[in-house]
Amino acid sequence: MAESIEKLKMYFAFPFVRYAFIVGLLIALCSSLLGVTLVLKRFSFIGDGLSHVAFGAMSLATVLPVMAKEFFLGLAESGQLSRRAAEIVTKLGEMNNMVIVLPVTLIAAILLLRTGQNTKIKGDAAVAMISVGALAIGYLLMNRFPTRANISGDVCSTLFGSTSILTLKEEDVWLCIIMSVIVILLFLLFYNKIFAVTFDENFMRAAGAKADAYNLLIAVVTALIIVLAMNLVGSLLISALIIFPALSAMRMFKSFRSVIICSAVISVLCAAFGIILSVLSSTPVGSTIVAADLGVFLLFSLVSSVMQKRKV
Partner 1 sequence: MSEQIRCSDVSLGYDGNVVTEKLNFTVNSGDYLCILGENGSGKSTLIKAILGLKPQMSGTLEWCGDVRSGEVGYLPQQTLVQRDFPASVREIVRSGCIAKCGLRPFCSRQEKKLAEDTMKQLGIEKLAGRCYRELSGGQQQRVLLARALCATRRILLLDEPVTALDPKAQLELYELIAKLNRDGITIIMVSHDINALKYATHVLHIGSHKQLFFGTRSAYAESSIGRELMRAERSEENG
Give the Cβ contact number of residue 234 at 10 Å.
25
The distance of closest approach from Cβ of residue 190 to partner 1 in the complex, given in angstroms and rounded to an integer, is: 7
**79 vs 208 by CB, closer to partner 1:** 208
Q: Are 237 and 196 in contact (CB under 8 A)?
A: no
Q: How many CB atoms lie within 10 A of CB 284?
A: 20
The answer to whether the CB of 294 falls within 8 A of the CB of 244 is yes
Task: DSSP for 205-217, please give it.
Answer: HHTT--HHHHHHH
Residues 6 or more apart whose CB falls under 8 angstroms from that of 192 comprise none
Q: How far is the CB of 253 from partner 1 (least distance, A)?
A: 6
Indicate the residue among 188 and 306 with the shorter CB distance to partner 1.
188
CA distance 19 to 31: 18
User: Does residue 165 contact residue 285 with C-beta atoms inside 8 Å?
Assistant: yes
> What's the min distance (Å) between Cβ of 99 and partner 1?
30
Minimum CB separation of residue 49 from partner 1 in Å reads 20
- The closest alpha carbon to 19, from 163, 161, 166, belongs to 166
Distance in Å, CB of 189 to partner 1, minimum: 5
**Looking at beta carbons only, is 178 or 213 nearer to partner 1?**
213
Cα 59 to Cα 130: distance, rounded to the nearest angstrom: 15
Least Å distance, CB 172 to partner 1, is: 30
Name which of 4 and 258 has its Cβ closer to partner 1.
258
> Min. distance of Cβ 176 from partner 1 in angstroms?
25
The residue among 110, 135, 129 whose CA lies nearest residue 60 is: 135
Q: Are 114 and 212 in contact (CB under 8 A)?
A: no
In Å, how far are 20, 30, 68, 178, 199 from 167, measured between CA atoms?
8, 21, 25, 19, 41
| Residue 250 beta carbon to partner 1: minimum distance, rounded to whole angstroms | 5
Choose between 126 and 197: whose C-beta lies nearer to partner 1: 197
Q: How far apart are CA 239 and CA 243, in angstroms?
A: 6
Which residue lies nearer to partner 1 by CB, 151 or 181?
A: 181
Identity of the residue, 178 or 189, whose beta carbon is nearer to partner 1 in the bound complex? 189
Compute φ and ψ for 304, nearest 5 degrees.
-70, -35
Give the residue with the Cβ less far from partner 1, 91 or 205.
205
List residues binding partner 1 (CB under 8 A).
36, 40-42, 188-193, 195-196, 198-200, 202-209, 250, 253-257, 259
